Amino acid sequence: MTANFSCETIPLHSTASGTTFEIDVWRYQHPEATKTVYLQAGIHGIELTGIPVVHEFMQEIEEQQLAYNFICVPLSNPMGLDSQIMGVQTGYNNLHTNQQNCWNWNRIGNLEDEPSQEGNWIKTLLDLSAPADIILDLHTAGVETVAHIYYHESEKVHVSGLGILHLLSWKIPSHSFSDTNFQRGKVALTFELSCSRSVQDEQVEESLIYLRRFFGLLPKVEGSRIWQTESQLKKWYSPDGGVLCWHINAGDAVTEGDVIATLYNRKGKLDLESPYSGVLLLKNPIHAPHQRQELAKFLVE
Ligand SMILES: [Zn+2]
């Protein structure tokens, strides 16, 4: 299937029962390549869509003989992927083996030199991506979202025209995998392709179209909106406990004061008004929130 790709398997650590967690790295070399791309999915174990996307795109790389070198890691976090409770993916944080702080798997670029499980794992990924010029880290978000992408404000040219409607520009890097790579001088983008925890064919296909546009296999398109992450991305917290029924969808435009959801609890029913004017970016996977639990994120005008 992938004759021009070579595969290397890297061991991470073994469990109490002696099972070994491993990462497969697929490398592709093109004789005319001037850039190396690191394409990765699955850092967060609840975020599944990117994994089939990388597998499918590897086939296209080979069929199209794309003139780049590629380092592909379709499943970058086997510990995260194998974290589930009663069939529900839970591997957003390391809640299995870190007894103190449940690290968010995508906020530990600073642990690279620590001889811990997390430190060894993130060092492995940072070492693998070190030769690359371009880092594409595939994520998903929320229980329902509209595709978006995080990028440093200097890298707008790379995220425009992909057909991703909402472009979230940041100035201040976090310890995420992409931001850590940006600070190493690379083009480093965090794609949020679809909702988390489930996979649908259409989401995989749409995500492949974004990658085809990125690599020039399809023409660029117009129509994205740019938002400043630090000032225009806002969280929304539940004013009370109860059962939440949304009346709008992720991606919908909202006006402050619109009734966008209803909360049912012991006091009866409470209409919830939009706290902002802008766009509902994503809904959290919370259907029975406690008071002050985060419900959603908005892009605010
Ligand atoms: Zn993620």
Burial class (CB in 10 A: 0-12, 13-18, 19+), 49: buried
Ligand 1 mean position to 209 CA, how many Å?
Answer: 20
79 falls in which pLDDT band (50, 70, 90)?
very high
Residue 1 has pLDDT above 60, yes or no: no
Domain with CATH 3.40.630.10 in the chain: 5-223
CATH number for 230-300: choose from 3.40.50.720, 2.40.50.100, 3.40.50.620, 3.30.420.40: 2.40.50.100
Ligand 1 mean position to 139 CA, how many Å?
Answer: 4
Residue of 91, 85, 88, 189 lying closest to 134 (CA atoms): 189
**Domain 5-223 bears CATH identifier 3.40.50.720:** no
Give the rounded distance of the alpha carbon of 180 from its chain centre: 15
Ligand 1 mean position to 106 CA, how many Å?
Answer: 7
Size of the chain in residues:
301
Domain with CATH 2.40.50.100 in the chain: 230-300
User: What's the rounded Cα separation, in Å, for the pair 226 and 248?
Assistant: 22
Residue of 142, 133, 224, 231 lying closest to 182 (CA atoms): 133
Q: What is the pLDDT of residue 3?
A: 61
Tell me the average pLDDT of the chain. Answer: 97
Q: What percent of the chain has pLDDT over 90?
A: 98
Ligand 1 mean position to 53 CA, how many Å?
Answer: 15
Ligand 1 mean position to 65 CA, how many Å?
Answer: 29
Q: What is the pLDDT of residue 4?
A: 83
For 171-220, how does the pLDDT look when each residue is reduced to its tens digit (9 = 90+)? 999 999 999 999 999 999 999 999 999 999 999 999 999 999 999 999 99
